[in-house]
Amino acid sequence: MYLTLPLTLEKLHVQRLATELKSGTWHTVGTMRVGMFNHTIHYYNNGAGIHKLCAW
């Protein structure tokens, strides 16, 4: 799995996603390979602490 927002010394992945991306919209945050298929990873934060990751 490859995430476009890498880990930093100050913040974990979820902290960067929650603070650096606008809430209320889906963002493309990475890619992953399953078998012979590549999938795009999408992240959603509703602004109230609910985070979702989906790959399609």
- List the chain pLDDT tens, one digit each, 56 residues: 677 777 788 888 888 888 888 999 999 998 999 999 999 999 999 988 888 989 88
The pLDDT of residue 10: 87
Q: Where are the alpha helices (DSSP H) in 4-51?
A: 13-20
Q: Give the pLDDT score at 15.
A: 85
DSSP label at 36?
T
- Answer whether 7's CB lies under 8 Å from 15's CB: no
Task: Identify how many contiguous H helices and E strands the chain contains and give both numbers.
Answer: 1, 4
Cα 2 from chain centroid (whole Å): 10
Predicted confidence at residue 25, as pLDDT, reads: 93
Q: Give the C-alpha separation, 55 to 38, whole Å.
A: 9
